[in-house]
């Protein structure tokens, strides 16, 4: 995979993270959704680092809005 692929994935995840963060003030259940998204990003990061050892996990998390 390329940097463009990683950016594309982060661009898909980021609005979901933002939506959950916006909801947490009014809806405590949003914390559960945010937790699931974090687990998804963590699992994705694990697989992406297997694909490319130079993959920057922290940069990816930041790009995802986490």
37-43: long-range contacts (C-beta < 8 A, 24 or more apart)? 37/13, 37/66, 38/66, 40/13, 41/13, 41/66
Q: What is the pLDDT of residues 3-13, one digit of tens each?
A: 999 999 999 99
pLDDT for 12 equals: 97
Q: Smallest Cα–Cα separation from 66: which of 8, 1, 15? A: 15
pTM of the entire structure?
0.86
Answer whether residue 14 shows pLDDT above 80: yes
Q: What is the pLDDT of residues 23-64, one digit of tens each?
A: 766 777 777 888 999 999 999 999 999 999 999 999 999 999
Task: Give the chain's domain count.
Answer: 1
Containing structural domain, residue 35: 3-63
């Amino acid at each position: 995979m390329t940097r463009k692929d990683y950016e594309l994935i982060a661009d898909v995840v980021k609005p979901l993270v933002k939506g959950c963060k916006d909801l947490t003030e009014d809806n405590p259940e949003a914390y559960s959704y945010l937790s699931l998204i974090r687990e998804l990003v963590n699992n994705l990061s694990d697989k992406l680092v297997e694909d490319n050892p130079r993959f920057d996990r922290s940069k990816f998390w930041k790009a995802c809005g986490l």
